[in-house]
Structure 1
């Protein structure tokens, strides 16, 4: 299209600031950028949209415009939303280099201009979208101004009437077209992910055709950017970490041009996946540092210092120091031929995302390291009240299991297993080593169960298990702290005597009269204290199992 036609389109609200003699130039594409040097993403003929974030002072304008001219850009359109009026130095630089300059009113979104240009320059819809996908790939790699995969999925919906969604290997909805109608139900997402993983394990080339509830879907694998299928010698190295693109259509009879278009979309999504993985680098490094300190027996003060660094990164703006949980995961294959540590790390990051949430944000609050074939997650929790009430805060093993079991079981079918262990929450560096050992022991409990995907939590490390000789001392200490710390803290804050009362009550075999006489208390006072113990710990001292737990905890303290 001609540049002049853009100015004649009232809905775009563009004003010409310079370059009246250049309006017959041809616009062959559009790119949004705020990079100081975007030339490597330009191929010529583009209308460049910019919010001017690259401009720090007047001296930046001329080099920026010169780079655009050298790349063959047709025109520059600058948004007024950030700075108000377009800076005079940019107007002068464009005039010097004969670069047409347009002002974009703050009420007009760059996406509106992009969509208009895309539609106008298209010859045929599929061919046009292929060009859009390629341009958008460059836009996404040039910086945050280009947007995410949702934009291209919207174009698939509006221009080709294709409803499409991006799913994780666990079935979590990552992105979807806003014009595709209602979001896919979680159970449909999980079934699609399971079908995809099962098909990938067979070695068949995508797209994979699936029919659910009378609807046909075509599933395209989203592989790491730049990696061809033959680049992976064993599919088990990636089957549990790759995303997928689900399209509500039967691709069996599609022409090769349309298949190439969708494969281009998957490459675009892979770029976004790589970007999100890169953003996790800091959190992974923090987790690795903490894990190494804990395993090497470092002083609690040194571990606490690393936790203070991690807390603002994982929970920005949090006023109080958080509590922490540890989650351990291990992927095992029967022949032991595949190194699964990095895959377990990536998968655990995904598993720990809230299954009801979409987008990448929830994963930003989890730090996962890996050592050998084991992945270890450090999960911060908002600080809980110092007054314990016996409730279970944080992650629960059974909830994690329900959210991922269906899909991942299909990817592990035949020769693989995923086992997860979840610790209790701890509130200090002193408790972190015990939490790690507790999570590892819970994972071993899960590994003793049948099934492709199994999980166990700290609640399942019952008192009789602690009597076994192979249980690590750190697990015993963690059990003791979890049961008695609420009482110790209450005694400290209120100058109460709940711990001595508990010991006397157990030594009296639960006899109210004998215990009250031993403590020189009225029976009603004793009943109040026992009731407080039960409230703080969530236990019932009339039950034999809970009495045994308290008895062992007191003996091991």
Structure 2
């Protein structure tokens, strides 16, 4: 995140040809560009101490920067050794996040330069908003330790556990369960930056709800991770995994309402592991569960790895090279049939119920004669024999694979 802010402030400073400094709403220095030319004691102190003095803060607030909705030219103050400045407030949805400062001792910063700065505000406000959210509960070191826990190298995972325990971030080395939260984009547009901010806000809120030193969170490129630590079986008054997953899912749905790029949300739940060192295994399961849930809406907003059945196997395979027709060539004939959706639903239900015709007819609300007609039609189109156990196995696997890959006509 710091790298993103640094890039923005360096680009901004280069475009207007003068040094820039960004402060948060409490006027603590967040990031600054390379400084050349004339600076005053206030700027020098801010850079060295990462914050300014109470007197300077009070002086700027008297000038009106806290209420400003646009750029403000602040005068000099010889008593404070303060040169004139241009201050541009950074706001996200009218929430004041901080300020961009430029020293303008000759008053030659033009209106065009100020317009250049204000055009960068959307990117800057999003980056600073994310920085503020992460900073509420986690330091950069903590986030790095969480990332390391989800890596494969055993040595680095051991070091991450030691770091988290020695820093008091986690109460103890006990059972851990991973939850993965994902935002499913619409067909029209992918998940955008405001949606990712909603995801970060949700992780922070759920972590607070779980309790101090009981969880870790991490935001990755296309999903968020919440690690529930130190035993969550429901005893000892602690929040259960199921309750935490429900809270995460409900909060995420609420936070993403009204975002055009989000169609729905999914939370994947991994299996618990006995210690922090083994977190990566639970994370991989939760990630696969969330990805399967994103492809199969029928599974609902909460998807547990333990309940995925055959999808546990299929999700770990490279299905790009393995199509449904490769598992059972007869499915191509079914897919091409005009009434394919009805026949595929009938076949999958029949196979899900272990070939029990009575149970299938009852679930589909069909007369037994109608069911037998459909099954005969399926056998003809797929060139198969549903009395053959091996054929049923291949057909069942091929149907699940087609559903996971999005290849079925009923999609």
TM-score of the pair, normalised by structure 1: 0.33
Larger radius of gyration: 1
TM-score of the pair, normalised by structure 2: 0.41
